[in-house]
């Protein structure tokens, strides 16, 4: 199951941006892997108080999203999805810039994590 964790300034989450972020990040995965993956994409938005965020060793008030995408390692190496990691990083950054504004693009950090087979599960079952 692809899962996004997005850490962002709490003040950027105003009650209207959350559904747009969830949709945009889900659409980013779908743009790379196709519609079949949509029902299993998870998105977690984590608001961080302003005084607890920094970039480059300096506290920041900028919307500097830090995103981690975690999914099965094998999905990053499918023959039918060439360059999946690069495409996912680009699609994720584009999605966040579309919702948060173009100024967020240069400060967006995307990390992709691969989960080995047999190390994740759904509903109490190894998937």
Q: What is the pLDDT of residue 72?
A: 93
Mean pLDDT of 101-121: 92
CA-CA distance, 123 to 58, in Å (whole number)?
41
**Tens digits of residue pLDDT in 31-75:** 999 999 999 999 999 999 888 877 778 887 777 799 999 999 999
Nearest in space to 40 (alpha carbons), one of 1, 70, 98: 1
Q: Which domains does the chain have, with CATH numbers?
A: 3-122 (3.30.429.10)
Q: pTM of the prediction?
A: 0.90
């Amino acid at each position: 199951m692809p899962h996004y964790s997005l850490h962002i300034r709490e003040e950027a989450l105003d009650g209207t941006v959350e559904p747009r972020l969830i949709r945009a990040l889900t659409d980013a995965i779908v743009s790379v892997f196709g519609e079949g993956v949509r029902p299993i994409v998870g998105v977690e938005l984590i608001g961080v108080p302003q005084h607890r965020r920094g970039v480059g060793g300096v506290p920041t008030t900028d919307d500097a999203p830090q995103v981690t995408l975690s999914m099965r390692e094998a999905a990053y190496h499918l023959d039918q999805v060439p360059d999946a990691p690069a495409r996912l990083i680009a699609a994720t950054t584009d999605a966040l810039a579309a919702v948060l504004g173009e100024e967020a693009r240069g400060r967006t950090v995307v990390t992709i994590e691969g989960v080995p087979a047999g190390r994740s599960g759904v509903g109490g079952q190894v998937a």
